Chain A
Amino acid sequence: MIRYIKLVLMELHRFWKIYAALAAITVISQTAGLWMSIRSHIKRVHWEMELTSIGTYAEFAKTYGRTSFRSIVSFNELFFMGPVMICIAVLLIYVFLIWYRDWYGKNAFVYRLLMLPASRFRLFWAKLTAIMLFVLGLVALQIVLLPLLMAMYRQMMPAELSLAESVFSYVRHHIVFQILLPPHAADFFLYYGLGFVAVTVVFAAILMERAWRLKGLIAGILYVSAATLVMTFPLSLDYVLYPHEIWGLMGGIGLVLFLASVWISRTLLAKKITV
């Protein structure tokens, strides 16, 4: 167990600079985006007030309405969603790099990792845990950041112009955040559970490629394709099943795929892997 934790810590350490950069980009971009949106909005309000000879914010709000956090963010949506998309893209790439990095480069670290006097399966779990922690860490950052950004919005926006909105309401109505930060625990476990299964399926495919090279690559692509088909099959039954039945079925299929991927990975690491 201690060695597993050490392997996880090592995996975290190997990615921390890029990870810290992703976190910094998210914080800076979203904060700067919000700051610029609020500033330009207030500037526009002043300009409008001058043109229409409106004297107070209250009068302006009466005529033009108040502006919610959601609307303010939408003025500069790229600053908000850009870093989120960058984080997702980098983590998706890292799902592959976390394995291939050990094989390629000047020094093949995989020799050392495969020769550790313990089950090689720990490598699999350590890498999977690391990916999970990276994902959940960024989710946690966003969960902490949103209330802070809302506080900044309340602080910068004149009270007469602002419209009270909860983080929950903002997330629930946002096209991307409602998936990334599902407000209900059941949805959270389902979405991230399926994501977790997808990572194990990809890990199994990577190990197939590492074990049998070209043939393994073909087998891996077929495996991922078949898993995607099987996983999304219940969605085509929406005219037969209720939504909760579809999600239940997907959860069951996900569990089977997870167990299959874990078994494949374990067997390949123990018996077939090639440096």
Chain B
Amino acid sequence: MIEIDRVTKKFGRKTVLKDVTFTVEKGRITCLIGLNGAGKSTLLKAIMGLMPVSRGQIRIDGQPVSEHLYEKVAFVPDTLTMPPFMTVENCLRFMRDFYDNWNEERAAYLLSFFKLQPADRISSLSKGNAAKLNLLLGLALDTDYLLMDEPFSGIDMFSREQIASVFTSELIEDRGVLLTTHEIDEIEHLIDKAVLLDQGRVIREFWCEEIREKEGKSVMDVMREVYHP
């Protein structure tokens, strides 16, 4: 379980995360929802140790964040993080060279699933293909948790469908997924838990199935209540 415990992050005088507390369970898809600037990306970076927090604690399976974190958690940022001069093949080799938990077989499967060409340069990839490669680099790691920052942002409909299909496949099964988005409609049916963030605070946290059964509301309905009361 990933535990985010009263995490606060300040940039100078501005507080971007304030006492954020929630958990990400294994085998569940948790969606961090918020408008632009709510602090979603900052929180993911903080979990990954890419940004120190001002206060609070983050624990992965009970352990504080350390370099061993990257064997348990994979992060798919909102942009591809490989240098433009590399080819797709170079990227896969880089991952193979540096990660013990790189799953070669799964990488090959995803390469063909996403129809990516190994010889293509990163600089020449379309936005959709860059997003697919980014996802491949995260999914091909044998990790217990997967963090994704806006995986559907700015890509075409067909690429979205292809990426969305990953969420219902065995590629995600048994993993704990935390993803951020501000466009919930297309993935609403995929997520198990929603955490609503506003101006750096968690304003609502709920299990989607439960709220559907008990209150007859969709995630979108709850969002309307919260963000546009």
Contacts and interface: CB of A to CB of B under 8 A. Distances in A.
B82 interface: yes
Given A6-B97, A275-B45, A275-B50, A115 B83 contact: no
Interface string A104-121: 011111111011111110
Given A106-B84, A108-B79, A118-B67, A275 B98 contact: no
Interface in B44-64: 45, 48-52
Given A106-B84, A107-B81, A117-B67, 15 more contacts: A6-B97, A6-B98, A105-B84, A107-B79, A107-B80, A107-B82, A112-B94, A117-B68, A117-B100, A118-B98, A119-B67, A273-B50, A273-B52, A274-B50, A275-B45
Contacts of A105: 83-84
Interface of A: 3, 6, 10, 14, 105-112, 114-120, 271-275
Chain B's interface: helix, strand, loop or mixed, by majority?
loop
B81 to A, nearest CB: 4
B167 interface: no
Interface of B: 45, 48-52, 67-68, 70-71, 75, 77, 79-85, 94, 97-101, 122-123
B70 A116 contact: yes
Nearest to B74: A115
B77 A111 contact: yes
A10 B70 CA distance: 20
A6 B94 CA distance: 9
A111 B52 contact: no
Nearest 10 pairs of A and B residues by beta carbon: A117-B70, A111-B81, A275-B50, A112-B81, A117-B71, A274-B51, A109-B83, A115-B70, A116-B98, A107-B80
Nearest to B52: A272
20 contacts: A6-B98, A10-B94, A14-B83, A106-B123, A107-B81, A107-B84, A108-B81, A109-B81, A109-B83, A111-B50, A111-B81, A112-B82, A115-B50, A115-B75, A116-B70, A116-B99, A117-B67, A273-B52, A275-B50, A275-B51
Chain A's interface: helix, strand, loop or mixed, by majority?
loop
A271 B98 CA distance: 21
A117 B143 CA distance: 12
A214 to B, nearest CB: 9
B196 to A, nearest CB: 25
A114 B50 CA distance: 7
Nearest to B48: A115
B43 to A, nearest CB: 14
A144 B164 CA distance: 59
A177 B211 CA distance: 77
A212 to B, nearest CB: 10
A118 B68 CA distance: 7
B98 A117 contact: yes
Contacts of B101: 117
A105 B84 CA distance: 9
Nearest to A119: B67
Nearest to B51: A274
The listed residue with most B CB atoms (<10 A of its CB), out of A109, A114, A117, is A117
Contacts of B70: 115-117
B27 to A, nearest CB: 23
A150 to B, nearest CB: 39
A107 B45 CA distance: 16
A274 B11 CA distance: 11
Contact of B67 (A106, A111, A120): A120
B11 to A, nearest CB: 9
A235 B211 CA distance: 75
B98 A114 contact: no
A105 B49 CA distance: 22
Contacts of B83: 14, 105, 107, 109
